[in-house]
Amino acid sequence: MKIVIITETFLPSTDGIVTRLCETIKWLNAQGHQIMVIAPDLGVHEFNGVPVEGVPAHLLFFYRTKRFAFPSRRVKKYMEAFQPDIVHVVNPALLGLAGIYYARRLGFPLIASYHTNVAQYMDYYHLGLFKPLMWQYFRLMHNRAEMNLCTSRTVKKELNARKFRNVHLWSRGVDLETFSPKKKELEVRRRITHGHPGQTVLLYVGRLAAEKEIERIKEVLDASPDLWLVLVGDGPYRSELENCFRRSNVTFTGFLYGEALAKVYASSDIFVFPSTTETLGLVILEAMASGLPVIAADSGPSREQIENGKNGLLYQPDLPGDLCQKVLSTASGALDLKTMSEAARQTSIDLGWSHASEQLLGFYEMAIGDVQFVPGKRRIV
């Protein structure tokens, strides 16, 4: 099968979308499928033997730490040259708009996948008035596809309620070889705590952005001098967070990848995830695979991964002090951290990426089967 994947974000950027795409591409490539990736041009032109065709990328005035590509006729040129059997537009917003337009114009079967709750983010950037318009825009794009995919049951329910058509659940996955408790190292722990390995290490991995609500962890650090917070990632909110945590036991590592990231996961004690805007929260599963119990804000996608009191804890974001109480009770030994760690690892053990990738291939085959080709156009049968 010849597959074009059009994405708003790709390497060297790192987030849950890029992680999922990289694992998917590796699996599809190993099965003998031909793949082309179309993405913002960030200097990466090949991944795992797969060509990455770039579209010029630009900074947006309200998001200065990441480059985005706008709709471009290059997308049409790349598609026409490759002649795919299926086009998969990932998280369509800007570049993805061209992917959807040209896939339909050229008559290629089209799948779109939804990964980011952009409309919900509007509240954190004082743009709440635009939420209805954002939902209308994304619904219009997604409903041009034969099939839509999302990554949690909670999001599927919301998309159905908002009249997105033909929505299917694309299963989550994790790299169980990379993320493992066996990667724990005392020297890594010493480094990330600036020489205080005896502290209880709280870990957050992800974008440093306003919608992640990372500053909520400040009250936890203020309540105990025995805690150390490690923030892995970068983003537009970093300077605000550095100011917020300036007198606290905190390490900002910037982006980490591969083995370096896996070692930090495994060398920490508790994963803390305050965000309520996730469509999945892939880092939750990476933390569990590394043997970390997760303390997360109670939200639909988090509930799908965390069994409260077994492999982690859910706190109520609207209940003052609940996050602090949950973290301190876990760190103090009031809850059995070792048992929760083992349960967290067990949660991830059957969720390797091969199942999710094989499922995606099945979706591709379904979408192709639903389209009859006519020169220059198509129709649903």
Region 230-258: mean pLDDT is 96
pLDDT band, very low/low/confident/very high, at 60 (cuts 50, 70, 90): confident
Q: What does each C-alpha distance from 218 to 169, 187, 221, 281 come to in angstroms?
A: 35, 26, 5, 21
Residues 204 and 294 in one domain: yes
Sheet containing 86-90, strands listed edge to edge, beginning at the edge strand earlier in sequence: 46-47, 50-55, 34-40, 2-7, 86-90, 110-113, 147-150, 167-169
Residues 225 and 76 in one domain: no
Amino acid 380: pLDDT: 45
Amino acid 375: pLDDT: 40
Amino acid 311: pLDDT: 96
Residues 343 and 362 in one domain: no
Share of the chain above pLDDT 90, in %: 88
Residues 365 and 344 in one domain: no
Cα 334 from Cα 268, distance rounded (Å): 18
Amino acid 373: pLDDT: 45
Amino acid 125: pLDDT: 76
Cα 131 from Cα 121, distance rounded (Å): 9
Residues 195 and 143 in one domain: no
Residues 138 and 221 in one domain: no
Question: pLDDT per residue over 293-339, tens digit each?
Answer: 999 999 999 999 999 999 999 999 999 999 999 999 999 887 888 99
The answer on pLDDT for 94 being more than 80 is yes
Residues 161 and 187 in one domain: no
Average pLDDT for the chain = 94
Question: pLDDT per residue over 132-158, tens digit each?
Answer: 999 999 999 999 999 999 999 999 999
Region 165-176: mean pLDDT is 97
pLDDT band, very low/low/confident/very high, at 231 (cuts 50, 70, 90): very high
Region 348-366: mean pLDDT is 96
pLDDT band, very low/low/confident/very high, at 14 (cuts 50, 70, 90): confident
The answer on pLDDT for 56 being more than 90 is yes
The answer on pLDDT for 271 being more than 80 is yes
Residues 59 and 7 in one domain: yes
- CA-based torsion, 73, 74, 75, 76: positive or negative: positive
Paired tokens of 315: 């706190």
- CA-based torsion, 25, 118, 159, 164: positive or negative: negative
Give the other-Cβ count within 10 Å of 151's Cβ.
26
Residue found under tokens 């790299």: 175
Question: pLDDT per residue over 318-329, tens digit each?
Answer: 999 999 999 999
Amino acid 372: pLDDT: 53
* CB contact set of 102 (below 8 Å; sequence gap of 6+): 75, 76, 79
Give the other-Cβ count within 10 Å of 39's Cβ.
26
Domain that holds residue 196: 181-348
Amino acid 120: pLDDT: 82
Q: Which of 337, 297, 303, 330 has its CA nearest to residue 204?
A: 297
The answer on pLDDT for 65 being more than 90 is no
Residues 205 and 324 in one domain: yes
Q: What does each C-alpha distance from 369 to 27, 64, 254, 256, 375 come to in angstroms?
A: 22, 42, 44, 41, 17
Residue found under tokens 């839509």: 148
CA 189 from centroid of its chain's CA atoms: 25
Whether the bond between 12 and the residue before it is cis, its omega within 30 degrees of 0, is yes
- CA-based torsion, 335, 336, 338, 341: positive or negative: negative
Count of alpha carbons within 13 Å of 187, Cβ hemisphere only? Answer: 1
| Structural domain total, the chain | 2
Residues 154 and 223 in one domain: no
Share of the chain above pLDDT 70, in %: 96
Paired tokens of 91: 């998280």
Residues 79 and 45 in one domain: yes
Residues 339 and 373 in one domain: no
The least confident of 12-16, 26-30, 103-107 is 12-16
DSSP 89-134: EES-SSHHHHHHHHHHHHT--EEEE----HHHHGGGGT-GGGHHHH
208: CATH: 3.40.50.2000
